[in-house]
Chains A and B, each alone.
Chain A
Amino acid sequence: MLLQGTDLQILTQPLLRFDMRSSVLDWLGIILKRDLIIAFRRSSTYITPLVFFLIVITFFPLALGPQESLLSSLAPGVIWIAALLASLLAVESIFSEDFRDGSLDDFFVSLEPSFILVFAKVMVHWLITGLPILIASSLAAIILYLPLESFVPMILSLLLGTSFMSLLGALGAALSLGKSAILSAIIVLPFSIPTLLMGTSVVTFSLNNQDYSGFLMMMGAMLAIGIPMLCLLTVEALLLNYD
């Protein structure tokens, strides 16, 4: 009742446009397939964040010295900071190309739910940045002498954390569409602090043989709330660019 007089695009358009003739999964699949094909043909999209991540990791032993005890105690923070920065590196490209060449107009004009469009875009971004980082993080853990027992918590926390970063990054990209790439990073970074704190805590706790499951649950909760909320706000932010 309260919302009847509203002008909220997310309420009036995509949800009412929602059309049962076509299944949502088809729509999701088309965008995923299209964007993944483009990403694989242009290999820089998934190699750049990966290389950036590994270079940043390498810088720490070079700057701090190669002592094993020092590096292994710093490893959780170092890996997390590098992962955070690397996943924000390509954030600006999530929507910019589709916006420039007009595909985004086409998506919004179709009767398909735009929430799914944003969700698919976030998934693609995670698959081309988050996933390579996840794989490379084991390599980073080895060169920073992180004990083997901490590998699983590190991977789990990065899995949840980088997904959340992709979501946040999509919102930042939508808000700063057509502006400098660094702006979207600056918008997003303060909001990524809880992820950083909890992610590093998971790994540090596992180093001290403490129970870290609480942090993982908290990160999972943030992801669960973040997917609907951030995707809807991103739709709103994208539509702003047409006004």
Chain B
Amino acid sequence: MLPNLKVENLSCVRSEKAIFKNLNFEVLPGQNIEIIGSNGSGKTTLLRTLLGLINKEEGIINWLDEDNNFNEYRTFDCFYQGHQMGIKNMLTVFENLKLTHNAKGMNEEDINKCLERVGLYKINEMASDLSVGQKKRISIARWLLKDFKIYFIDEPFSALDDPASDLIKEIINELNLKGSSFVITGHRSSNINATLIEI
């Protein structure tokens, strides 16, 4: 099986000091990568570099395309979630899902199913009335909008109670079975089935 993403010798230098050096890994369908490091070790920088938000300094980032060739350019949709979750306070729970490009062409029922899966039933409530945990659930519901090949999630387990982390783990398992992979970051291992990379 070919990996969806192949990273070779990736390095990043910020203000004269190396943040990470010579990273090598492959993201195979259905398998996860967990990037472990302390604050300031460049986890966010790594994710942003992979996705092309930051120009890479050295190394190769290769994406698989439909014809099983590796390219420098990505041709499939990925899901990225940074520290901020992109939840708009002035939109309702439903609109926070509906008015994203990932929900293009989806009907109301499909979106409601995503929200029910993460335990959100009051879909017409304004997001500003929700707690942080519930907002986090909205962001998890967004993972379910489409079958993305790779999910890049920055610290999904930080500041979560147990039911919520269990929910995330369940959903990661489900999506893994569909062939999706997760690249997640964290301070320590989160006990999901993943290859650990320490930076």
Contact = CB atoms under 8 A, between A and B. Distances in A.
**Do A and B come into direct contact in the complex, CB within 8 Å?**
yes
Interface string A99-141: 0111101111111100000000000000000000000000000
Contact of B73 (A16, A26, A38): A16
Interface in A191-240: 239
Contact of A109 (B78, B83, B99): B78
Interface residues of A, number: 32
B26 to A, nearest CB: 20
A135 to B, nearest CB: 24
Contacts of B160: none
Chain B interface mostly: loop
Nearest to A38: B90
Contacts of B79: 109
B82 A102 contact: yes
B191 interface: no
B53 A111 contact: no
Interface stretch (B100-108, B113-121, B169-177): B100-108
Contacts of B77: 110-111
Interface residues of B, number: 32
A145 interface: no
Chain A interface mostly: helix
Nearest to A102: B84
Nearest to B55: A7
Contacts of A13: 52
Interface stretch (A27-35, A62-70, A79-87, A169-177): A27-35
A239 B85 contact: no
Given A12-B73, A105-B48, 7 more contacts: A26-B104, A30-B104, A100-B84, A105-B53, A105-B80, A108-B51, A242-B48
10 contacts: A13-B52, A27-B104, A34-B91, A37-B99, A100-B84, A101-B87, A105-B48, A105-B53, A105-B80, A239-B53
Interface of B: 48, 51-55, 73-88, 90-91, 95, 99-102, 104-105, 152
